[in-house]
Chains A and B, each alone.
Chain A
């Protein structure tokens, strides 16, 4: 793709007839309470799409020829109709890639996955050791993930091992690769964005400039064997573009359907400003995708703003819209993690607390038992004094 990508990227930037990277979060419910959760998940939303409504969405995706959906959450497997929906999608020409923390991946689930050749599974870990992982994802979550990997390996399924890169796990890149190799998995590295609860921990968890360089060199060395989606195209400003999608596809080739059917420009942009419509409305998802004002606006040629004068603009394109938005930076300027340091400069001028907050929060009130204990974090909590209720535990 790399040699012919440029003209195609221009087409992608103007939008496609249907998304190619569609994320569908089936539920906000989750057994964990990861400190960086992009969707601030925890509790189920009572307005969640019903089984029949989900099937109607799948019918629509089939008509639109959306080749596959990336199913996530929350923890999608805690929905009681999860496997039913999975089979429904794959028997209607919609492939499924789903992300899970592994909680429901026992021997039987692994066999089900092995039996359906249109399903890919992705297990999340955020540390190559239990201490680093559990400090972000909660006590026992590393063991849960490893158990799931073992069940999958036992039936010959090759999953993806999905890692959000943080300050604490960048030194573990080779170890992640070793774990992936051990279970016959493919490693997928993604970027920590200040979305959802991620905004609260971003300052403490996002990689340092030196680590970004380390990550870039590591990715260049490991080439196409490691997946990155659209995560690191802002690092292309170091020189060489990386395999994967090298542009912000929000509303152009990417979008999110959330558990209640709201359609956002990107899974990392759950905010009213990026809300395009709802699948329950007249005309359904198809009309939202084709006609929403927000999406049409995003498909207009972008000005580039202050980045336009940068000699790396063609490679980096100013980076990630969501990362800029939730750190309070203008959307047409540099990414907060701009490799040239312009982002840091711009961040220093943002009034503390002025960055927009996510519009939704389904976090467990008062956390969960064995929830994440930060290594050295200073989490900024919203100052709601009565937010502590010792009786609220994990509720699935």
Chain B
């Protein structure tokens, strides 16, 4: 496809709240899951079931870190999973949650 999109680092991703793009369909498979983005027509995959758990947990979690810990990942595993999530962000599978209360200087 196009040139590599800008990638966020794992910590930046872990510290924010994310939602699955509404145009993304997730299909669990024995190895993890397949993801299809109806907008970009991109097929992607989650390589293990725990990553799937994390992704499914994102909507109820204030940050990605919280989602990771809620599904039982250890602190030591956070960096790896943060990187996987960063890939999903870079391919538009995940979208940043808009803060519910606008901060000072946020566009109205």
Contacts and interface: CB of A to CB of B under 8 A. Distances in A.
A11 B46 CA distance: 12
Nearest to A10: B31
Interface string A58-98: 00000001011000000000000000000000000101000
A11 B31 contact: yes
A234 B43 CA distance: 23
A51 to B, nearest CB: 24
A204 B104 CA distance: 71
Contacts of A17: 27-30
A16 B25 contact: no
Interface residues of B, number: 15
Chain A interface, DSSP helix/strand/loop, else mixed: loop
Interface in B15-34: 25, 27-31, 34
Interface string A92-118: 010100000000000000000000011
A300 interface: no
Contacts of A8: 31, 45, 47
B38 A20 contact: no
A120 interface: yes
B1 interface: yes
A132 interface: no
A29 to B, nearest CB: 28
A1 to B, nearest CB: 8
Contacts of B31: 8, 11
Interface in A16-67: 16-18, 20, 65, 67
A10 B25 CA distance: 23
Nearest to A90: B38
A390 interface: no
15 contacts: A4-B47, A7-B47, A8-B31, A8-B47, A17-B27, A17-B29, A67-B25, A67-B34, A67-B38, A67-B43, A93-B25, A117-B39, A118-B38, A120-B41, A224-B1
Closest 7 CB pairs of A and B: A67-B36, A65-B27, A11-B31, A16-B29, A17-B29, A224-B1, A95-B38
Given A17-B28, A65-B25, A67-B36, 10 more contacts: A7-B47, A8-B47, A17-B27, A17-B29, A17-B30, A20-B43, A67-B25, A67-B34, A68-B36, A224-B1
